[in-house]
Amino acid sequence: MDARVARPWMRDPKNFKYEHLIAWVKENRGELLAAILTMARAWITAGKPITTGLPALGGFEDWVNIVGSILTHAGLGGFLENLDFMYSQSDVETAQWEAFFGTWHDIIGEEPVTSAELITHIKENPDLRSTLPDIIGDTEAKNYSVKVGQNLGKRNGVQYPTGLELKKAGTSHRAITWKVVKFTDSTSPLFSYKSEVSEVINTQAHKAFENSDKKEDKEDR
């Protein structure tokens, strides 16, 4: 859904087709469920055609394929087409850290640095300073070095869509060192784990639909 306004949550509900949507849904629950089941059954009767070009959603591939295909078969295209935009608008923190780590990698490269050394780079380089995430944006804050170190620790091993990852690189004079590195799925420590989880979910989903088909066959007989 695209409200085409900057702050959709502030729209006047009196302009909606159903001013009190939740109450309307509860009152018409039976009809809505019947419509949903009719759409699903029509898709099953048609042979469960899978729509191509649906967005990838790690671990939820079957859900995307099934729900997206049911809606497309019913004439409602565009399933999850606004996913990237929604993420970019709602996850401000990730965007800020992506920008910061990108500038860090451009300026410092993959050289390990302590929090104190990173702060020196921040204070000396306006480009790096301008991309500071809000949570560590006040360089004059009390115990700033500790705050930076704590926030880096929370993002250790987090892999960002830009292809960068923050990693602990060891220690220097008893201080933890950090570096921003590039990664690929094939070398990612999370890749095999994600694949295993995805495989389990997919297997369970297929079994659920097979059982549903068997139940329908018995009912038809």
Q: What is the pLDDT along the chain (221 residues), one digit of tens a residue?
A: 556 555 667 778 888 888 899 999 999 999 999 999 999 999 999 999 999 999 888 788 999 999 999 999 999 988 988 777 666 656 678 889 999 999 999 999 999 999 999 999 999 999 999 999 999 999 999 999 999 999 999 999 988 888 999 999 999 999 999 999 998 754 444 443 344 434 444 444 455 555 555 555 555 55
The closest of 109, 103, 151, 158 to 131, measured between CA atoms, is: 103
Residue 207 has what pLDDT?
Answer: 52
Residue 110 has what pLDDT?
Answer: 96
Residue 83 has what pLDDT?
Answer: 77
Residue 123: partners with Cβ closer than 8 Å, 6 or more residues away: 129, 139
- By three-state DSSP, how is residue 158 classified? coil
Give pTM, 2 decimals. 0.50
